[in-house]
Structure 1
Amino acid sequence: MKQLLFILIIAGLAGFKPVATRHISGTVYDDTKTVLPGVQVTVAGTNTATQTNAKGQYNIDVPADNASLMFSFIGFETQTVKIGKSNVIDVYLKSSSQALSEVVVIGYGSQKKVDLTGSVSNINPSPSSPGSAPNVKMRGLNSTAIYGSRAADMRMMPAPENTESYKGITENGFKTVESEPLSTFSVDVDAASYSNVRRFINNGQLPPADAVRIEEMINYFHYNIPGPANNEPVAIHTELSSAPWNGNHRLLRIGIKAKTVATDKLPASNLVFLIDVSGSMNEANKLPLVQSSLKMLVNQLRPQDRVAIVVYAGAAGVVLPATTGDKKTTINNAIDNLQVGGSTAGGAGIKLAYKIAQENFMKDGNNRVMLATDGDFNVGASSDDDMEKLIEKERESGISLSVLGFGMGNYKDSKMETLADKGNGNYAYIDNITEARKTLISEFGGTLFTIAKDVKLQVEFNPAKVQAYRLVGYENRALNKEDFNNDKKDAGDMGSGHNVTAFYEIVPVAVKDDYSGSVDPLKYQKPKKVQYSSTSDEMLTIKFRYKQPTSSVSKMSHVEVYDKPMAIASTSTDFRFAAAVAEVGMLLRDSQFKQHSSYEQAIKMARAAKGDDSEGYRAEFIKLAESAKLLSPDKVLALEE
């Protein structure tokens, strides 16, 4: 009997063969040979899938025998490629307007993808069989996306609740120089709005208007602005041309560059990771992505750096005391062991994180709390006002707060923007591991280390040259004119290597203006006629104020801009690309000041101004703009007609 059993085991082992796999890589292009970021690449008939990165590249392991890959992207025909002998497969996808007619089962019926506003949280690119439709994953539900004009086997399910929140934006309008010659604002280096807008568009939806902060879209990208000289922390540069969306108007670009400090010269860091482990974080693009992102940051730490980890759900607690940066295994193990559960006591978590940071305070170091959350606070101090008061009190200790936002469906952008703004820190939205790498590795110094704080700008316009003006974006960064000289007034900070771009749209004198408006003459007082000289070529003066990181007293410099606009074709590639981003932002907001803006014009300008795009982010923007054009109401109406 034993001999028979032994023979059977040997026979079984002889017939067992491990599943062999092949590593396939390649690049996905469109039909104009431009790379396509965000393309879903799936091994047909399996749950194995990946996405192309910012350079359109993918890597995936597939079974060795007779495997096929499916490539799908919004606005393009899905393509299935059978794997041959080569391990490198480049694919060219064909554009298709028919993709806009895809039908998705939502709630009690079907709806076109382009009409969705927030019902679908995430698209799971894992078809169960070759040629089958992908599953649309909704919070607590599963629904099937059916391609074509008929949807079979629809199930009556309640529509998923979407509780995302965004702070309302009242867009900056044109102001007359005669009544308001000064424009004052704080810099903003945050870029969360761009990656959040990208998430919406890649999921087949246009973003809510209030999710589009144009200055954050512009400042997502790196620009080749010369750094400061003479050991100054910041430098300022300007360019003046015509506005692409209105040739009668001027467009002024103000570019600010902070000096870059080598990583080994940066001060030591005292970091506290404050991680939301509440029940709402129990999704693949939340806590698991948080863990992967923070481990990338841990790999950048030095022995002189220290990290503690605080978590909060129904209550807050310390899971790792302050640990030196050379003990990466200890820190990473603590991150890996995190699990979700409970409600969200965000206020208690922030208080505890500040307490731990204060206990390990480094006098000449970088003291910072890094909050990773979807912002869904619901226990204790949870309103935006409560959070604002808490952070304003704690920032006086010299500890900054940076916010990393994750997830969708219940995402609370309004809370997280408030926390980062009032906490003298950065705000980033991380929707995938590529974005985590950009924020926490490529921009490591800028994310963590402040070079100049309370950076403010004040522009004085010459009424002999300028009739009216408008600051594009920066609505939540506006300051009163008297705030410029008030060193107690908080403003935005700039980190190592950060660059900031701001645009003013200017209506020159003698140009017919439909935007600045008028008021009736005053009854009880007569305005005094202002005398000014029209002989100067100065169009405006920019005053620039900032503090050194350890100083409470600001320094000021100024730059004059003369009325000598360049032809737009002669401006830098950075000017034209940033202007294209601003134009797309106005279209996404359906701005009342978009004038002659169009996706076609912005895409053409961005293509011509792509410049050195080694990371592929500009190419990604061009594809997003093309997808937004397909999703725009005008395009959909034309297709339906």
Structure 2
Amino acid sequence: MKRIIYLIMLLLGLTTFNSTARTIRGSVYGTDDKKPIPGVAVLVKGTNILTSTDLNGQYAVVTKEEKIVLLFSMIGYEFQQVEVKKSNTIDVWLQPAKTSLQEVVVMGYQTQRKQLLTGSVSILSGSAMAGRVAGVQIRGLATVPQDRESYKGIVENGFLNPVKEPLSTFAIDVDQASYSNVRRLINQGQLPPKDAVRTEELLNYFHYDLQGPLNQDPVAIHTELSSAPWNPRHRLLRIALKAKALKTEQLPPSNLVFLLDVSGSMEGPNRLPLVKASMKMLADQLRPEDHVAIVTYAGTAGLKLGSTAGDQKTKLKEAIDQLEASGSTAGGDGIKMAYQIAREHFIKQGNNRIILATDGDFNVGASSDEDMEKLVANEKNSGISLSVLGFGMGNLKDSKMETIADKGHGNYAYIDNISQARKAMVTEFGSTLFTVAKDVKIQVEFNPGKVQAYRLIGYENRLLAKEDFNNDEKMGGDMGAGHSITALYEIIPAGLKDNFSSSVDPLKYQKPKDGIFNNTSSEIVTVKFRYKNPDSKKSHMQLATLNDAPTPLSKTSDDFRFASAVAEFGMLLRNSEYKQQSDFSSLISRAKAARGKDDEGYRTEFITLAESAKLLSKNNEIALNEK
């Protein structure tokens, strides 16, 4: 009997030993310029373990196998296959591609999805990758299918007549998820679905050189006016807000609840392991006066760790390391428990916030977008914010996560690699977690003596009725410490013939009143914005006026020209009916010239991303023409 028990224990020990995971790390460089390459797809052959290199060209994959083959692919570079044996550090040098994107050959996709290739070069399936990403040959490439991802439909803003619609009103949006998701899709070799492209989130991904408030106000306003690069006869107006920055010692104490999805859909290196790494990064930023509880959910919700002081980092990290993915997804129950725990440890005049990390793929109990909206909206007056970190690919429920963050007085970021986790958890720690102005709304009045028509670029999901601006019961967006917001309006000057101003036949039963407006004013717009202090229910208003005196585009700030390039990029990705003369080459050139100070490398990464999208777009046109 003892011998049998001994054999069983020996077998269990061997099983445990063989299942020990190993992390393989390394960097990817280009042989042409000897520099690291961001965005390289790294796949473990024969599996769905897929990641990409960060801004420094570094990658990490987790596997339980002793011998594996890593496949490296990037638009514009030759595909490379590397066998990994004992070493856990593998650096790779990629050769520039000798073939052009037009020479792509695609094989190995499912027959029923073949028609989708006209919209994307690499919507493919299978379990083995033995070929190359867009730019070189592809034979059986396994990118993660996107058919289970969901995005909220966007009806793009059109041009409005200021005589009939003099006011444009919207809530600000500090979310950045769309940009990192778009980056992920392009780096996988496919153009994003147009509803995945929220232009305001592309614009607000980047840091801008803006002056914060010089007085006690929490937010400062800036404006700039020039010509629109995609139609020089039109004007482009930039409105920017900058929240005051706070030093770490000035930040209020935090009552945080990490709400972590540990369901089966979170299994995989770009899901739960990345969640763990992100949460440990955040734990490193916490102070002794901060407290964190950890709630997890799969088939049911449970309390993994009670509220713990922020200086007990070992205890926090040990609880995070113990997490494993399995089971179904009772996201609604998890949210309810997280609010309950946050209420139990509520800090008056503190930062009370839930941080939800999930792919949004809820399937037990309340699970629809509408269910989540009602559940979170019921807590709008609780004083507890809910921010969302999205993970995963293939089953990403972007629409659900955006809804949760919008209704939860929080922000939404998509984490596709460790570099993005560092940006959200470390670089932007204050702006991510600490609100300095809540319910921020913007209302712009256009002077019809100067403006024939105007169009807000983006913010379609944040539009408000004009009456909502003065109604303190209507929610706006929240700004964290140091946050900046950019909004762009395209303006058709008065008297200019154009293709966008609509007309209707004269009315039969009534005559419209003659337009009466101040033609003598030199002002083109008045910009107003409202905000509440974090602990107040009453809003404050500020305003600024701007004269119709556009600065030549070449004389505008680097930020203005770079933001215009990002907006143009968004219009091209969406194939906007308002893109006019938009052009990848033009926006890339302008972005390069306006790169300015780029310590973190995000603007450089954008230029690379736009160049990849240009190649993919060209190939897409060829596919459509051939069809």
1:333 alignment partner in structure 2:
318
Work out the CA distance in 2 between the residues paired with 1:100 and 1:113: 18
Secondary structure at the counterpart of residue 146 of structure 1: coil
Deviation of residue 281 (structure 1)?
1.1
- Map 1:203-214 onto structure 2 (within 5 A): 203-214=188-199
Q: 1:248 to 1:88 in 2, by over 3 A?
A: same
1:244 alignment partner in structure 2:
229
Secondary structure at the counterpart of residue 531 of structure 1: coil
Q: 1:29 to 1:545 in 2, by over 3 A?
A: farther
1:320 pairs, out of 277, 301, 305, with 305
1:233 alignment partner in structure 2:
218
Work out the CA distance in 1 between the residues paired with 2:160 and 2:34: 44
- Which one is further off, 429-438 or 342-351? 342-351
2:275 alignment partner in structure 1:
290
1:74 alignment partner in structure 2:
75
Work out the CA distance in 2 between the residues paired with 1:534 and 1:110: 57
Q: Counterpart of 1:242 in structure 2: which amino acid?
A: S
Q: Counterpart of 2:106 in structure 1: which amino acid?
A: V
Secondary structure at the counterpart of residue 511 of structure 1: coil
1:194 alignment partner in structure 2:
179
Confirm or deny that 1:105 pairs with 2:108: yes
1:617 alignment partner in structure 2:
602
- Map 1:217-616 onto structure 2 (within 5 A): 217-616=202-601
Contact 2:107 2:138 in 1 (8 A): no
Deviation of residue 336 (structure 1)?
0.9
Q: Counterpart of 1:399 in structure 2: which amino acid?
A: I
Deviation of residue 107 (structure 1)?
2.4
Contact 1:76 1:97 in 2 (8 A): no
Q: 1:189 to 1:150 in 2, by over 3 A?
A: closer
Work out the CA distance in 2 between the residues paired with 1:233 and 1:407: 35
Contact 2:170 2:443 in 1 (8 A): yes
Contact 2:28 2:36 in 1 (8 A): yes
Work out the CA distance in 2 between the residues paired with 1:30 and 1:474: 42
Percent of paired sites with the same residue? 59
Contact 1:28 1:39 in 2 (8 A): no
Contact 1:115 1:205 in 2 (8 A): no
Work out the CA distance in 1 between the residues paired with 2:93 and 2:467: 58
Q: Counterpart of 1:507 in structure 2: which amino acid?
A: I
Q: Counterpart of 2:150 in structure 1: which amino acid?
A: S
Contact 1:100 1:112 in 2 (8 A): no
Deviation of residue 143 (structure 1)?
3.0
Larger Rg computed on CA atoms: 1
Q: 1:238 to 1:110 in 2, by over 3 A?
A: closer
Q: Counterpart of 1:510 in structure 2: which amino acid?
A: G
Contact 1:106 1:143 in 2 (8 A): no
1:37 alignment partner in structure 2:
38
Secondary structure at the counterpart of residue 396 of structure 2: coil
Secondary structure at the counterpart of residue 307 of structure 1: strand
Q: 1:265 to 1:304 in 2, by over 3 A?
A: same
Q: Counterpart of 2:185 in structure 1: which amino acid?
A: F
Deviation of residue 481 (structure 1)?
0.3
Contact 2:121 2:620 in 1 (8 A): no
Contact 2:355 2:389 in 1 (8 A): yes
- Which one is further off, 606-615 or 32-41? 32-41
- Which one is further off, 495-504 or 516-525? 516-525
Q: Structure 1: which 5+ runs fail to align?
A: 1-22, 61-67, 121-135
- Which one is further off, 26-35 or 314-323? 26-35
1:177 pairs, out of 134, 158, 162, with 162
Q: Counterpart of 1:101 in structure 2: which amino acid?
A: V
Secondary structure at the counterpart of residue 273 of structure 1: strand
Secondary structure at the counterpart of residue 520 of structure 2: coil
Deviation of residue 564 (structure 1)?
0.5
Q: Counterpart of 1:602 in structure 2: which amino acid?
A: L
Contact 1:100 1:113 in 2 (8 A): no
Q: Counterpart of 1:97 in structure 2: which amino acid?
A: S
Q: 1:30 to 1:258 in 2, by over 3 A?
A: farther
Work out the CA distance in 2 between the residues paired with 1:457 and 1:253: 13
CA RMSD of aligned residues (A): 3.3
Deviation of residue 394 (structure 1)?
1.1
Q: 1:181 to 1:38 in 2, by over 3 A?
A: same
Secondary structure at the counterpart of residue 416 of structure 2: coil
Deviation of residue 74 (structure 1)?
1.5
Contact 1:78 1:93 in 2 (8 A): no
Secondary structure at the counterpart of residue 307 of structure 2: strand
Q: Deviations over 1:329-355 (max 9, x none)?
A: 111111111112221111111001000
Work out the CA distance in 1 between the residues paired with 2:121 and 2:384: 36
Q: 1:579 to 1:149 in 2, by over 3 A?
A: closer
Q: 1:393 to 1:75 in 2, by over 3 A?
A: same
Work out the CA distance in 1 between the residues paired with 2:185 and 2:31: 21
Work out the CA distance in 1 between the residues paired with 2:418 and 2:518: 56
Q: Counterpart of 2:409 in structure 1: which amino acid?
A: N
Contact 2:49 2:269 in 1 (8 A): no
Q: Structure 2: which 5+ runs fail to align?
A: 1-23, 62-68, 84-89
Work out the CA distance in 2 between the residues paired with 1:620 and 1:55: 10
Contact 1:102 1:146 in 2 (8 A): no
Work out the CA distance in 1 between the residues paired with 2:415 and 2:50: 20
- Which one is further off, 573-582 or 523-532? 523-532
Work out the CA distance in 2 between the residues paired with 1:457 and 1:161: 35
- Which one is further off, 271-280 or 47-56? 47-56
Q: Counterpart of 1:178 in structure 2: which amino acid?
A: V
Deviation of residue 150 (structure 1)?
9.2
Q: 1:365 to 1:291 in 2, by over 3 A?
A: same
Contact 1:307 1:321 in 2 (8 A): yes
User: What TM-score, normalized to structure 2?
Assistant: 0.86
Work out the CA distance in 1 between the residues paired with 2:567 and 2:210: 18
Contact 1:29 1:56 in 2 (8 A): no
Secondary structure at the counterpart of residue 343 of structure 1: coil
Work out the CA distance in 2 between the residues paired with 1:247 and 1:34: 37
Q: 1:546 to 1:637 in 2, by over 3 A?
A: same
Contact 1:104 1:146 in 2 (8 A): no
User: What TM-score, normalized to structure 1?
Assistant: 0.85
Q: 1:73 to 1:160 in 2, by over 3 A?
A: closer
Deviation of residue 285 (structure 1)?
0.9
Q: Counterpart of 1:394 in structure 2: which amino acid?
A: E
Deviation of residue 311 (structure 1)?
0.9
1:54 alignment partner in structure 2:
55
1:162 alignment partner in structure 2:
147
Work out the CA distance in 2 between the residues paired with 1:214 and 1:427: 15
Deviation of residue 112 (structure 1)?
11
Contact 1:187 1:491 in 2 (8 A): yes
Q: Deviations over 1:183-215 (max 9, x none)?
A: 001100000000000110011111010000000
Secondary structure at the counterpart of residue 397 of structure 1: coil
Q: 1:90 to 1:108 in 2, by over 3 A?
A: closer
Contact 1:104 1:111 in 2 (8 A): no
Work out the CA distance in 1 between the residues paired with 2:311 and 2:179: 34
Q: Deviations over 1:567-586 (max 9, x none)?
A: 11111111111110100100
Q: Counterpart of 1:453 in structure 2: which amino acid?
A: K
Deviation of residue 263 (structure 1)?
1.1
Q: Counterpart of 1:265 in structure 2: which amino acid?
A: Q
Contact 2:77 2:95 in 1 (8 A): no
